Structure 1
Amino acid sequence: MSEAIRKLEIELDVPLIERGHKFEGLTAEGAQIVRWAETILDNQKSLRHTAASLRSGVTGMLRLGVVPTASVAAADITAPLSLRHPLIHVRIHGDLSSRDIETRLNRFELEGGITYVDDGDASRHRIFPLYRERYALLTADDPNMPRGSTASWSDAATLPMCTLPSNMRVRRILDETFARHGASPVAHIETDSLASLYAHVKTGRWVSVVPRRWVEVLGDPPGTRSTPLEDTLDLPAPMIGLITRAEAPSVVTEALQEVAATLDRTSSEIPIEE
């Protein structure tokens, strides 16, 4: 390997590694060459997938990263994708942070990611808006209490909370929304598990704020009740969308992009049963 690196340095006429008594890391030039090499290898893989698709239709592995709050939205993409391209195999990497998704995309470890796209970098990624994330107050179900059409953020903040962890983007969004209403809820329980969150709320000792999309897909699990939280008129609801790398997409990525382009629901309200 040392000899191969030395020959490559001679060929390119730039130093690639810092040399001492042992390997000390890449030079600045070496780091750029590594990024070029990753792109070349990914393009080679894309070429092979393109050739295969010309023979038998689009085929290959699609690796999709998803932030936890959008996990139920993955099927909105994978279902029509699989219908159009049954030879594509999908592997979903759930419970990733927005930062993890961007990092893995840039390292060619993912073909796409479902994440928050309000401040996305259009120079590095293609962005496909899917829907705006709105929220509901999740409580234990009390059949003796009337159901309200909406709940206020300020009232919700006075209740003991079971929340998602503070390192998640959605938690920061919720904290900012509460602050806009002059409220500061106290998180008694933090969990990154959807099952754990629902189980804690069901006891009646805690409440939680969850995406309405969860309610749309999962309904209200037995023993719980969801009430839409009033929209904050001066604060646009955060945007969930698909991001892919901007440069040289593979045929699998192009198939993903084509499906995502038909799924924009950002102008529609998410129906909630009351």
Structure 2
Amino acid sequence: MIDKLEYFLVLAREQHFGRAAVELGVTQPTLSAAIKQLEDQLGVMLVKRGSRFQGLTPEGQRVLEWARRIVGDSRTLKEEMRAARQGLSGHVRIAAIPTALAMVPSITTPFREKHPNVTFSVISCTSLQVLSHLENYDIDIGITYIENEPLGRVVAVPLYSERYQLITAAGSRYSDRDHVTWAEVAELPLCLLTPDMQNRRIINKHLEEAGGRVQPTLESNSMILLFSHIRSGKWASIMPLNLAEVLGFSEPVRAIPITEPDVSHLVGVVAAEREPHTPMVSALLYEARLVAERYGKA
């Protein structure tokens, strides 16, 4: 039954039989047959059927909760037995908000030194997508804001407080200042992350509280693209201090603290709330705590 529950999880996430079949690497008839067999075993309809996927039935929603729990427990058991035989090995999946990507090596590098048989994949996504990926077991851990918006059932390890700087080209307005205010920043032609990013919602809030209008001249979900526009000398942006430090801004780009008010927002590692965690997730959370200690003492 567990393999059929895994199929059901993917279908619930993709909400499309064709996409789910591609994701699973099976044919659509194979997927449909597996879902039908699961319905027969449970004695309830799980999926509203028509010419296309129309959502889950109320029973399907309830089974989805059980499926996440059962599949998660099964994966934890398998990984724990594998770790007992050969130590930690396998693949770690991480999702991080764009502004936190610069912190990922502080976890992955020491982790792999301790566990050389582990490989990683890292994706950049919104804070809401991080939580969705966790809920569907698509990732092992996420790195996101942990105090601004509801997190749901997760375990969170605070890493650092995000503070903001005006990133602008040398010779541009305010580039000779030691600090600028949010009200002053609001007057500049800004390139910012897209509105679906929590970082953008945070910046909007502080600009509006300072009496400014949020009218960016360019939006993107890529920090690299934002930085490339800043280097042109015609644009400015707002980025976290830790990201500016990692990128190593130098002439002709300046990073200037934004004050009045001096605000910060907590970013941390999150993992699905379950007991026990897989050995891999437990080790990752432990590494995150070590990073938090080092960062706090820096």
Checking the alignment, whether the CA contact within 8 Å between 1:120 and 1:127 is kept in structure 2 is no
Bigger shift: residues 194-203 or 26-35: 26-35
Q: Aligned residue for 1:109? A: 138
Are 1:252 and 2:285 matched, yes or no? no
Deviation per CA, 1:194-247: give whole Å up to 9, x if none: 2221221122222111111112111115521111112625xx511111110011
Are 1:191 and 2:220 matched, yes or no? yes
**Equivalent-residue separation in structure 2 for 1:139 and 1:202 (angstroms):** 8
Bigger shift: residues 174-183 or 124-133: 174-183
Checking the alignment, whether the CA contact within 8 Å between 1:130 and 1:266 is kept in structure 2 is no
Change (3 A) 1:258 1:121: farther
The normalised TM-score by structure 1 is 0.85
**Equivalent-residue separation in structure 2 for 1:80 and 1:22 (angstroms):** 47
**Equivalent-residue separation in structure 2 for 1:231 and 1:258 (angstroms):** 36
Equivalent pairs: percent with the same residue?
A: 27
Q: Tell me which of 212, 236, 255 is aligned to 1:207.
A: 236
**Equivalent-residue separation in structure 1 for 2:228 and 2:39 (angstroms):** 59
Checking the alignment, whether the CA contact within 8 Å between 1:115 and 1:242 is kept in structure 2 is yes
Bigger shift: residues 214-223 or 16-25: 16-25
Change (3 A) 1:226 1:21: closer
Checking the alignment, whether the CA contact within 8 Å between 2:229 and 2:235 is kept in structure 1 is yes
Q: Tell me which of 65, 71, 91 is aligned to 2:121.
A: 91
* Residue correspondence of structure 1 range 1-274 to structure 2 within 5 A: 1=33, 4-5=37-38, 7-10=40-43, 14-18=44-48, 26-94=56-124, 96-119=125-148, 124-142=153-171, 147-230=176-259, 232=261, 236-248=263-275, 249-264=277-292, 268=296
Q: CA deviation at 1:26?
A: 3.6
Deviation per CA, 1:26-83: give whole Å up to 9, x if none: 4312332233223322322221211111122112221110001111011111122212
Change (3 A) 1:237 1:27: same
Change (3 A) 1:201 1:18: closer
Q: CA deviation at 1:183?
A: 2.1
Secondary structure class of the residue paired with 1:187 = coil
Secondary structure class of the residue paired with 2:104 = helix
Q: CA deviation at 1:258?
A: 0.9
Q: Residue type of the partner of 1:238?
A: H
Q: Identify the structure with bigger relative contact order (alpha carbons < 8 Å, sequence gap 6+).
A: 1
**Equivalent-residue separation in structure 2 for 1:218 and 1:147 (angstroms):** 20
Deviation per CA, 1:88-123: give whole Å up to 9, x if none: 2211112x0011111111011111100010046576
**Equivalent-residue separation in structure 2 for 1:108 and 1:260 (angstroms):** 19
**Equivalent-residue separation in structure 1 for 2:74 and 2:131 (angstroms):** 22
Q: Residue type of the partner of 1:75?
A: P
Greater percentage in helix: 2
Q: CA deviation at 1:154?
A: 1.6
Number of equivalenced pairs: 263
**Equivalent-residue separation in structure 2 for 1:176 and 1:193 (angstroms):** 21
**Equivalent-residue separation in structure 2 for 1:18 and 1:200 (angstroms):** 47
Deviation per CA, 1:164-218: give whole Å up to 9, x if none: 1122111110111112222224311112222221221122222111111112111
**Equivalent-residue separation in structure 2 for 1:124 and 1:47 (angstroms):** 21
In the alignment, structure 1 segments of 5+ residues that lack a partner are: none
In the alignment, structure 2 segments of 5+ residues that lack a partner are: 1-32
